[in-house]
Structure 1
Amino acid sequence: MKAIKLSVIAGAVLLSTGAMANVVTDAGTVVVTGAKNTTVAVVDGTKTLFKTAVNPAAISAEVGTLGYGANIAWAVNDTTELQAGWAGGDPAGLFKDDISVDGTDFELDTDFSNPYLGVQMRPAANWFTVGAGVIVPDNDIKVRAPARQNETFSIQGTDYIVNGPIEGTVEHRNKLAPYLTVGFRPNINNHWGVFGELGAAYLGKADVTIKSSNTAFNEHAAQRIQDKEYATWYPIAKVGATYRF
């Protein structure tokens, strides 16, 4: 009798977790019928996730203000894809060669590295796309001006005399930069397509450092470059081609 009571108690406990398994009691015997189905579902789900990860929907090559790069996309459904990509190199030569501050031209030397993760959506199920995600920027931006000898520079009405070269650096503060883009992605055939995107990334304020023989000039020029050329939002413009599997 005691054994039967213990079996009934055990069965009641298992029945209270019916979401995990189906329990059948027969003369004090507890039979778990749902555990096998749960295990099968977990295994099938893991297989599906692995199959999706190793079988991307598309690969793309791109060039733009973030640099040259590529990305891999995985389909979530017919209108949504997850993207993982990287863009970098020296885009300054393509889009902007120098910065002009009150008549002084600073040459740009850039070495970009912008890995990113995002989602690409087609809200109307057509060519129009909306992209959003996060960039992990690691960009090396340098500015320089040719060597000067006793040359006078005027910044906002104040004159400064500088001897020798003028060099500097620009560093954005954000270590993670959220971005948003809109664009178009028409298909050429069943496999090939092209795309274009416009948007911006929130890189945060920039810290600008200028080095020359004149400390006052350095501080004023750095502030002007920061205010004039490097805002909180960095523009994104890119074009590319896509191959779909």
Structure 2
Amino acid sequence: MKLIKLTAISAAVLASSAALAAEPVIVVDDNDAVVYEAEPVAVAYEAEPASYAYDADAGVVSNTTGAIVGGTKGFFSKVVNPASVSAEVGTLGYGANIGWSLNEKTELQAGWAGGDAAELFGGDFDANDVNYDIDTDFSNPYLGVQLRPAGNWFTMGAGIIVPDNEITATANAEDSGNNGYYPVDGNRYFVGIPDVALEPGDLTEVGGVQADLEHRNKLAPYLTVGFRPNITNNFGVFGELGAAYLGKTTATVNASGPNGEQAESQIKEELEDENYLEWMPIVKLGATYRF
């Protein structure tokens, strides 16, 4: 009986003192005193997960929401914290770009290049036998990716240009004065009335010839290869070679003089057959600052 009483009392005392931090419990029964020490209760605290954390074990809706919120937060963090800024000059014009590093081998770029770039690639061209001086006003916003496939200075680039380039071509006449002429499709289109005998197909009083050229592609894909060595921890230089496909050319021709209109259609045909800068060469040099 004493044993049963002792057991019952002990159980009651232990149950009531479970919340106490190892407080000793003394039970007295007649002549015997027994000391019991309660085991401390272990309390576990679990940190609340962040609201945007991706939980692979959550339900479809919660799981997807966490992934989107977390991914969006990471995306905007990269957008407002670019990895680099660059200045460039080349056949697309003068410009700059901003880069965002997706990983150590991949960088997303957004940039613009433009201005009068004609002198950078010659400033003139020939369509059939007629020489034309070129004036340009380029605007080439672009979006692309720069890859470092070997993880070193060698790079490969690809992307899209949205070209809005104004190109004006002015024809240069052969010879000078009234004997000056434009050789078009085997015929001579004279600026004035020449002092030489005319041949079948010759035309007089054509005057000056000017044409506006427009590429038909509204989006121009491009590819480049290049190098991007770092000079210091923050500064580097780069060079790129490649091409962009601008597409075929539409020419709007204005030939002055009494017989200018008769020459315009043939000159237009020759200019469009030439497809000036259908494949736009890309040559650029620049410097980069990395954050």
TM-score in terms of structure 2 length: 0.67
- The corresponding residue for 2:137 is 111
- Larger-gyration structure (1/2): 2
In 2, distance between residues paired with 1:172 and 1:229?
9
Alpha carbons 1:113, 1:137 under 8 Å: kept: yes
Q: Which runs of 5+ in 2 are unaligned?
A: 1-55, 192-204
Matched, 1:224 2:267: no
Aligned length: 216
Change (3 A) 1:96 1:42: same
Residues 1:81 and 2:107 are matched in the alignment? yes
How far the C-alpha of 1:117 sits from its partner, in A, is 0.5
Matched, 1:171 2:214: yes
Q: What are the equivalent positions in structure 2 for 1:83-232 lying under 5 Å apart?
A: 83-101=109-127, 104-145=130-171, 150=178, 151-162=180-191, 163=205, 164-212=207-255, 213=257, 214-228=260-274, 230-232=276-278
RMSD, aligned CA: 2.5
More strand by proportion, 1 or 2? 1
Asked if the contact 1:184–1:196 (Cα under 8 Å) also holds between the matched residues in 2, the reply is yes
Say if 2:280 is the partner of 1:234: yes
TM superposition shift of 1:40: 5.2
Q: Which residue identity lines up with residue 107 of structure 1 in the other structure?
A: D
Show CA shifts across 1:21-70 (max 9, x none). Answer: 29xxxxxxxxxxx94x7655544333211111100011110011110000
Q: Please tell me the residue identity of whatever aligns with 1:178.
A: P
Q: Is the 8 A contact 1:134 1:178 kept in 2?
A: yes
Q: Partner of 1:93: helix, strand, or coil?
A: helix
Cα distance in 2 for partners of 1:183, 1:96 equals: 22
1:133-176 Cα shifts (integer Å, max 9, x gaps): 00000111111246986433223422222343211100000111
Distance change >3 Å, CA 100–CA 43, structure 1 → 2: closer
CA 1:146/1:204 → structure 2, altered by over 3 Å: closer, same or farther?
A: closer
- Contact conserved, 1:92 with 1:109, CA < 8 A, in 2? yes
1:21 to 59, 62, 78: 59
- Output the TM-score relative to the length of structure 1: 0.79
Q: Which amino acid aligns with 2:139?
A: S
Aligned partner of 2:166: which letter? D
8 A Cα contact 1:99 1:229, kept in partner = no
Is 1:66–2:92 an aligned residue pair?
Answer: yes
Question: Do the aligned residues in 1 keep the contact of 2:130 with 2:172 (CA within 8 Å)?
Answer: no
Which structure ranks higher in relative contact order (CA pairs < 8 Å, sequence separation ≥ 6)?
1
5+ unaligned residues in a row in structure 1: which ranges? Answer: 1-17, 23-33
Partners of 2:249 and 2:275 within 8 A in 1: no
Amino acid at match of 2:252: T
Asked whether the equivalents of residues 202 and 232 of structure 1 are also in contact (C-alpha less than 8 Å), the reply is yes
Secondary structure (helix, strand or coil) at the match of 2:269 reads: helix
